[in-house]
Each structure stands twice: as C-alpha cells, then as structure tokens.
Structure 1
C-alpha cells in the first residue's frame, strides 16, 4: 500500500508515522514508535512524556481560566439578582 493511500483526504501525501510529532525526527522502520492520543507518534519515551506534560499544563491553564470565568459570571449574577429595597 502506498503512503498516498494511507494519507487522509486533503492532507499532505506523507504518512503520519514518518516523523516524531514533537521533534520531527524521522521515525525508522525498525525502531520503536511511542503513540499518544490516537495518531500522534513519538521517537522516544522522553518526547512522548514532554508532550503529555505540555498537554497537562495547557489543560490545567484552561480549567483555571474556565473556573475564573465561572466565578466572575456568578459574582455578576449575584449582584444583578439581589433584592432592591426602597425606603
């Protein structure tokens, strides 16, 4: 089967297992390939672990940002739905 047949429609004609996702080092045909999150190949456990740490940091930042936005929204909601007393 040719690499063109293995590529995705509209994607480059290179096979997705030709290079490390992180460092772009060419992957050998007889060497170990370390996979992460589906179709992401890595040349070594170190490159794979570095990508995992990058993703975890990105997700943590996203969760903190999302939590902060929820907090801001709930504070605004509380102010807007308070009881108004008129004397």
Structure 2
C-alpha cells in the first residue's frame, strides 16, 4: 500500500505506537496526533503525558537560553 506521497504505509495500523502490541482487526484502535495508533486508552494517555513532559522541558530550556544577562555596575564615559 502506498500513500499519496509514495511512502509505504503497509504497517500503519499493525502495532501500538507505545508498546508495540499487535492491533487486532476487530478491536478498537485509539489514535493520537494524526497517524499514531494505540492499543488502549492507557497507552494513548501515557504517550500524551510523555509528549507534555517533553514539551514542558523544551519550553523551560528555550526560556533559559533566551534570558538576557544584565550586568550592573558603573559606566564611566570620558
């Protein structure tokens, strides 16, 4: 099976994104962020929490990189 972009998607819904458990043909599949299938609500929720923690760490790191250093003192100009 080829997608519109020519990418092979033949294994798209065969296994859970988190735990790699095979997905049954007659069972519920829980989706998250587009094309990520999960075998259960628990696996899906765990991935959501992982992504939220990663995003929080990224925002904190970005904030600490963009802080400007302010030097205090006296400047004498002649």
* TM-score over 0.5 for the pair: yes
Structure 1 unaligned blocks of 5 or more:
none
Please give the root-mean-square deviation of Cα atoms over the aligned residues, in Å: 2.2
How far apart in 1 are the matches of 2:40 and 2:75?
63
The corresponding residue for 2:77 is 86
How far apart in 2 are the matches of 1:68 and 1:16?
38
Structure 2 unaligned blocks of 5 or more:
none
The structure that is helix-richer by fraction is 1
Structure 1 length normalisation: TM-score? 0.74
Judged with a 3 Å threshold, the aligned counterparts in structure 2 of structure 1 residues 8 and 15 are, in CA distance, closer, same or farther, namely farther
SS at match of 1:65: helix
Aligned residues, how many?
Answer: 77
Deviating beyond 4 angstroms after TM superposition, the runs of 4 or more aligned structure 1 residues are 7-13
Which of 10, 20, 30 is the equivalent residue of 1:24?
Answer: 20
Deviation at 1:35, TM superposition (A): 0.2
